[in-house]
Structure 1
Amino acid sequence: MGNNRTIRASALALAVLGTLFVGQAAASGFQLREQSVKNLGKSNAGSLVGKDASVVSLNPAAMVNLDKNTFQADMTVINLNAKFTGGGTILNNPGAPLTGGNGGDPGDPTPVPNMSAVFPMQGALEKLYLGVSLGAPFGLATKYDQGWVGRYRAIESDVKTMDLTLSAALKLSDGVSIGAGFIWERAEATLTKAIDFGTAICAGSGNPANCFNPAYPFQPQALDGGFKVKGADNSIGYVVGAQLAPTDRLAIGVSYRSEIKHELKGSLYFTGVPALLGSDPRFVDGPGGARLVTPSVTTVSVKYAVADNFRVLADYQYTGWDSLQDVTIKRSNGTIVGSEPFHWSNTHFYSLGAEYDLSPALTLRGGIGKDKTPTHDTYRTPRLPDNNRTLLSLGATWNFSDALSFDAAYQRIDIDSPSINLPVDAAAGNTSTLAGWYSGHADLIGVSMQYRF
């Protein structure tokens, strides 16, 4: 019965880790860059130096670009299309294949809302700018079919982060500004997976060969149960930035967003526990938690006006995913029940874009980007079948009046086909292998409104 102990520990570990390993993010890892539809239309090139209220959370120093009170609302729908091809076996036995289909398309259209407002001060405070934003810098959602071949690794993952950012900027001189913001972040997660109680019982019977003896009453995949974990936490961080515009044509912005550390606390729920294990305290619902650190993000943006109506833009972003080397799982009494490594690497993102003012009322834009994945072949899981990405974007702004404008954008993300090759890992409670590859892409459509008064 020793294997049951590792099964329960792994259930919590993988569920908490599921907040990290899921694929409905529009950037590599579980990062979201959809704070601005205008930025979406140029693959985020020039994201820190625009006349866009989203700079409240991206680069507070750029709030000085807005000379009126400005309110902005953005909505982007992310639709991941993915298909898994592959399978697995029980306990490394090629003659005992996992049952189930390919899981279907794990990604449903998911809306990502963001709102922001900037307020230039007047009179003696005219060089001061204040801003507030509400948005989602990290988050994801996937759902596989209940009986799919990888159900013991992941079924449903729903993770949300929501940031409230309060920022201030100071205009030091013409073309030079600095800014900083306070971030309050709420993180919530609901994760599910299946548990192979049949394998847990036969492997823990003292004679693992029972798992391959048809006469034994408890067989692999014959007693599937379910596991669910829900957790949440509030934490704080900060963002700082600067903007330098030495001429009317050139602007350079830089910003740094801090790590935000969460101590996720929640409850574990088990379903379908066989009567043989019904009194086992290791499968009783109860509290648990783990530490989650969202990464630091450093960004540099450049904008250059080639002509009065034509601008070229660029972005470079460095994301500190090395904050996610492992997650240690603890019970509510502090007892460590397991640690899961995943060894993510820091990533680099590059983008180039352009804007063209077709008329005073209409601006067209486009961009291309390259986004590296933090994952590795050794540790990649079906919760995040991520790989390097190529972004292609188109967008437009319609200035309805001096006070009101609307934006729309489309982005296509092509993902290099990732592979997974997961072995049996008794220490983590994984009693089956899973190997295969994914094909897929993501489509993003966004609309926004900006009102100046």
Structure 2
Amino acid sequence: MSPRIKISLLAAAPLWLVASTGVANAQAFYLQEQSARAAGRAFSGEVADTGPQSLWWNPASIAGMENAEAAIAVSAILPRGDVVDNGTVIRRPGGQFAPVGGNPVAKNPINNGFLPSGAIAMPLNERVSIGLAVTSPYSFTTNYDADSWARYTADKTRLRTIDIQPSIGVSVTDWLRVGAAVNVEYTDAELGNKIPNLSATLPDGEQILSGNGWDLGWTAGLQMHNSWATVGISYKSAIEHNLKGSLEVSGLVGPLAGQNATLEGVKAKFKTPAQIIVGGRFRTSDALTLNVQGVRYTWADFDAIRLGAPLNQAIPENYRNSWSLAGGFDYAATPDLTLRAGLQRTLTPTRDGNRDARVPDSNRWNFGAGGSYRVSPAFTLDGAFNYVAFKDETIDRPTIAAGSPILVDGRTEDAKALIFTLGGRVSF
């Protein structure tokens, strides 16, 4: 493999593996929309709540169940915002730095999407229950135009994960519940981005990276409760992802034409973060319950992407640990109708100088509202709406594409997301 194409791959590989929704509802490339009930209170009490809807956050949530229960939900995520060029320049071999060209404003480059989730749990006896949650914690699609100013660092990206979490919960005493789970996670990713030819008058080349793999993690938690309060603590392990796939390079002309190729067996390793989750639910009256939850994300685990043959390189990412904090309430307006709302603050793990157009993440506020209606003793409908407001942030990670250094100077503007979630739960 030629040195120029190897450098191009080193610039693009992180994007292939970890590109993000940017304007999702959690942070970086993690999505937290795994429950309609949780979304309504801005994810403020899940580690301390009960039933299969809280399995993702804490397997202790199903301990001591009396009946089997199942829950499903789907979230429509509608991101909005602009990614704007403030003076990005490129230096092609033998030339001087010049404007990168292309459309200077990318409007709504993150595609709308639907995120499904589901869980089921059943008691084995009065103390022990088993359950299964199926979620998609890292999933998105981005689509920058072919003539975008960001085309050499971000073009088209698709990431899908499926997390299968078999769980067990045990009611140890009348005040203590514990639980454990295995996370079996499948990842499938594809990235396409442009490659500059030697002259700006020539059409761009293109490279497409794709890969997939299965990996394992685990979750453990406990809940301490009495007649008016529940405190929950859980730990979701980091997962080391091992992807294997292919690279296709095409459209290079002139002296670069010999570098058009398809490579099979491209390998990479990277880690998604552990989560330390602490929260509580406090019943202040027969109708009102207050919720609070904090999450510590060990994003520093995502320090580098380690590429195997034929590249054999480690690419620093320099993410930092981060956190989120949420508060909310549930209010039983009638025996059949429960209203809820919440507020969540989340800090981004990305750093200035290391942020690119494919991961335009920033600090955000999440405002949530929703409710539940018991249609029958066995069936309840859940609905929620979230408005996520993002801080305007710089896009400033330099890169190299086919031997051409690119000094990226951009910015996100007016970024926000509208999220509608609908779900249902049934006992049997």
TM-score range, shorter chain: over 0.9
Closer/same/farther in 2, CA of residues 148 and 173 from structure 1, 3 Å limit? same
1:322 aligns with 2:300: yes
C-alpha distance in structure 2 between counterparts of 1:184 and 1:416, whole Å: 34
**Which structure 2 residues correspond to residues 262-281 of structure 1 after superposition, within 5 A?**
262-274=241-253, 276-280=255-259
**Is the 2:220–2:234 contact (alpha carbons within 8 Å) kept by the matching residues of 1?**
yes
Instruction: State the 1:24 CA deviation.
Output: 4.9
C-alpha distance in structure 1 between counterparts of 2:96 and 2:332, whole Å: 62
Secondary structure of the residue that 2:18 maps to in structure 1? Answer: coil
Note the alpha carbon deviations across 1:242-284, whole angstroms, 9 max, x for none.
0000x2110000110111111110010112122543334x744
1:390 aligns with 2:388: no
* 2:406 alignment partner in structure 1: 432
Instruction: Kindly name which structure, 1 or 2, has the bigger radius of gyration based on alpha carbons.
Output: 1
- The one-letter code sitting in structure 1 at the alignment partner of 2:116 is P
C-alpha distance in structure 2 between counterparts of 1:195 and 1:221, whole Å: 13
**Is the 2:15–2:191 contact (alpha carbons within 8 Å) kept by the matching residues of 1?**
no
**Is the 1:24–1:78 contact (alpha carbons within 8 Å) kept by the matching residues of 2?**
no
- The one-letter code sitting in structure 2 at the alignment partner of 1:188 is D
Instruction: State the 1:156 CA deviation.
Output: 1.1
Q: TM-score, normalised by structure 2?
A: 0.94
**Which structure 2 residues correspond to residues 156-235 of structure 1 after superposition, within 5 A?**
156-198=156-198, 219-220=199-200, 222-235=202-215
Instruction: State the 1:90 CA deviation.
Output: 1.9
Secondary structure of the residue that 1:331 maps to in structure 2? Answer: coil
C-alpha distance in structure 2 between counterparts of 1:373 and 1:410, whole Å: 22
Q: 2:229 aligns with which of 246, 250, 266?
A: 250
Instruction: State the 1:42 CA deviation.
Output: 0.5
1:238 aligns with 2:241: no
1:261 aligns with 2:236: no
Q: TM-score, normalised by structure 1?
A: 0.89
1:27 aligns with 2:5: no
Structure 1 gaps, min length 5: 199-218
- The one-letter code sitting in structure 2 at the alignment partner of 1:279 is G
C-alpha distance in structure 2 between counterparts of 1:423 and 1:400, whole Å: 55
C-alpha distance in structure 1 between counterparts of 2:15 and 2:306, whole Å: 10
**Is the 2:219–2:235 contact (alpha carbons within 8 Å) kept by the matching residues of 1?**
yes
* 1:76 alignment partner in structure 2: 75
Structure 2 gaps, min length 5: none
* 2:41 alignment partner in structure 1: 42
Secondary structure of the residue that 1:35 maps to in structure 2? Answer: coil
C-alpha distance in structure 2 between counterparts of 1:106 and 1:60, whole Å: 36
Instruction: State the 1:221 CA deviation.
Output: 5.5
* 2:110 alignment partner in structure 1: 107
* 2:387 alignment partner in structure 1: 412
C-alpha distance in structure 2 between counterparts of 1:118 and 1:424, whole Å: 48
**Is the 2:11–2:399 contact (alpha carbons within 8 Å) kept by the matching residues of 1?**
no
Instruction: State the 1:79 CA deviation.
Output: 1.4
Closer/same/farther in 2, CA of residues 339 and 117 from structure 1, 3 Å limit? same
**Is the 1:357–1:363 contact (alpha carbons within 8 Å) kept by the matching residues of 2?**
yes
* 2:336 alignment partner in structure 1: 361
Note the alpha carbon deviations across 1:218-246, whole angstroms, 9 max, x for none.
x135241111111001011110000000x
C-alpha distance in structure 2 between counterparts of 1:221 and 1:90, whole Å: 14
Instruction: State the 1:67 CA deviation.
Output: 2.4
C-alpha distance in structure 2 between counterparts of 1:382 and 1:307, whole Å: 48
C-alpha distance in structure 2 between counterparts of 1:234 and 1:244, whole Å: 34
C-alpha distance in structure 2 between counterparts of 1:407 and 1:424, whole Å: 45
C-alpha distance in structure 1 between counterparts of 2:400 and 2:249, whole Å: 21
**Is the 1:225–1:271 contact (alpha carbons within 8 Å) kept by the matching residues of 2?**
yes
Instruction: State the 1:424 CA deviation.
Output: 5.5
- The one-letter code sitting in structure 2 at the alignment partner of 1:239 is T
Identity %: 25
- The one-letter code sitting in structure 1 at the alignment partner of 2:8 is S
C-alpha distance in structure 2 between counterparts of 1:348 and 1:370, whole Å: 9
Instruction: State the 1:91 CA deviation.
Output: 1.8
**Is the 2:152–2:196 contact (alpha carbons within 8 Å) kept by the matching residues of 1?**
yes
**Is the 1:354–1:365 contact (alpha carbons within 8 Å) kept by the matching residues of 2?**
yes
C-alpha distance in structure 1 between counterparts of 2:264 and 2:426, whole Å: 48
* 1:116 alignment partner in structure 2: 119
1:290 aligns with 2:241: no
* 1:132 alignment partner in structure 2: 132
Secondary structure of the residue that 1:106 maps to in structure 2? Answer: coil
Instruction: State the 1:128 CA deviation.
Output: 0.5
Instruction: State the 1:85 CA deviation.
Output: 1.8
Instruction: State the 1:361 CA deviation.
Output: 0.9
Instruction: State the 1:48 CA deviation.
Output: 1.4
Secondary structure of the residue that 1:137 maps to in structure 2? Answer: coil
C-alpha distance in structure 2 between counterparts of 1:51 and 1:179, whole Å: 12
C-alpha distance in structure 2 between counterparts of 1:9 and 1:339, whole Å: 12
Give the aligned length. 422
- The one-letter code sitting in structure 1 at the alignment partner of 2:327 is L
Instruction: State the 1:94 CA deviation.
Output: 8.0
C-alpha distance in structure 2 between counterparts of 1:303 and 1:284, whole Å: 54
**Is the 2:23–2:390 contact (alpha carbons within 8 Å) kept by the matching residues of 1?**
no
